Amino acid sequence: MSAGDRRVFIKTYGCQMNVYDSERMADALAPGGWRAVDSAEDADLVVLNTCHIREKAAEKVYSDIGRLREISQARSAEGGRLTIGVAGCVAQAEGAEIARRAPLVDFVVGPQAYHRLPQLVAQVGARGAAGGAALVETEFAPEEKFARLGARAARGPAAFLTVQEGCDKFCAFCVVPYTRGAEISRPVERVLAEARALLEAGVVEITLLGQNVNAYHGEGPGGPWGLARLIRALAAEGVGRIRYTTSHPNDMDDDLIAAHGDAPALMPYLHLPVQSGSDRVLRAMNRRHTAEGYLAIIAKVRAARPDIAISGDFIVGFPGETEAEFEETMALASAVRHAHAYSFKYSERPGTPAADAPGQVPEAVKAERLARLQALLAADQARFNAACVGRETEVLLERPGRLPGQLVGRSPWLQSVHLDAPASLMGRAARVLLASAGPNSLAGALVGPQAAPRA
């Protein structure tokens, strides 16, 4: 295999930050002649970029490693070699256990060390067919990681940009503080420089990422900047559409709320997890906010931006949750009327305080509560989508649709919109009439003559 025909397949599990990380891994490997392919069968290097949030996350990774065995054996029979790496949060949490349990794996790299991916791959290659124990790299050095990553490639009109990593909140159900480390914010100038490179590559919309993105406090001119100031600076650089995720209610300061009203580039969409409507459950979760406080924040944001779409996260069946406490969650959801929301049954994460808490709720009870909550949330989403019908708005057209002559994009409220449009509009924000609504997407039609694509 020559340096010019190296092929890498990166499988991404989980959150938007993992999507960003996978793209940056590909960027880091590109100078060494690695090009991305769409399947493990076509690859010489497979990297599983894992997520530890979902239930049985580690077991799913081991299952995928098992499925790679046949490809690896076939490659060996041809006189070649398949290199396999595990990255991301499961890699950070499991570390040496992956090396012990899955001998097929050549290296394990945590989310704060993937800038060393080219060196790890080179080390594996230098060992040759003799192999050896998996290389394990799980150090915490996040700013070093960003400083050492090279040029950023754009992969479409919308892009993720990580500005903050780690978490100091220590919610009782969550592994993120243990797999991503303490909160750290990237310096302002490095964020702006990456954004400028994306703009030059044709990116129209940037989503700012962080485990607690609204806790951003990056060093900039005059001292630390908050997220609102960063958003306004990005708008001044020419970013036409800005989003951010994921937020914590405790970090929704007045300046950020005001930005939703006075920064036109900030899209009218806020993802703000609440998790429960019961104050007792919130205390047990170590969330450090109340249901009343959450509702007050939503009211202030809606006062600043009346057309905003509110999204959220819910966990049902947290240890000790009673039926009455679940009904408090239903009442909060009814009061907010989320445009979109994610909801899950509580599941144990080894090493977290809630895993050993008394009062574990039976699976059947959790499933029944989740079904009731999801029915309410689905009705609210359908109601929000229906209320958008008849609006004219800018839709960022991102990809071809399923039908000939169809493009699919995102509205300012993050809804999927499909419409008939010429391919020349791909990658642009087009003026669209939202004509009809389904439960998960809307149909639109182009409004008037559209400007010619930018050169």
**388 marked ligand binding residue:** no
Distance of CA 265 to the CA centre of its chain: 20
Residue 27 in tokens:
């960027």
The Cα 152–Cα 169 span in angstroms is 30
Q: d(Cα 329, Cα 324) in Å, to the nearest integer?
A: 9
* C-alpha span between 160 and 145 (Å, rounded): 17
d(CA 31, CA 29): 6
DSSP, collapsed to helix, strand or coil, labels residue 127 as: helix
Close Cβ partners of 432 (under 8 Å, ≥ 6 residues apart): 392, 393, 394, 395, 409, 411, 417, 419, 444, 445, 446, 447
Whether the bond between 207 and the residue before it is cis, its omega within 30 degrees of 0, is no
b/e per residue, 116-130, with b = 16+ CB within 10 A? bbbebbeebeeeeee
User: How far is residue 289's CA from residue 69's CA, in Å, rounded to a whole number?
Assistant: 47
DSSP string, 386-411: HHHTT-EEEEEEEEE-SSTTEEEEE-
User: What gap in Å lies between CA 65 and CA 85, rounded to an integer?
Assistant: 9
Which of 354, 169, 356, 133 has the alpha carbon at shortest distance from 246?
Answer: 169
The Cα 294–Cα 331 span in angstroms is 13
Backbone angles phi, psi at 260, to 5 degrees: -65, -20
Q: Which residues pair with 243 in a beta bridge?
A: 207
Cβ atoms of 148 and 190 closer than 8 Å: no
Kindly state the tokens that stand for 446. 């182009």
Q: Which two tokens mark 38?
A: 């769409």
Q: Tell me how far apart the alpha carbons of residues 370 and 347 are, in angstroms, rounded to a whole number.
A: 13
Tell me if 174 is assigned to a ligand binding site: yes
95 within 8 A of 138, measured Cβ to Cβ? yes
Give the residue ranges of the annotated binding site for [4Fe-4S] cluster.
15, 51, 89, 167, 171, 174
Give the residue ranges of the annotated binding site.
15, 51, 89, 167, 171, 174
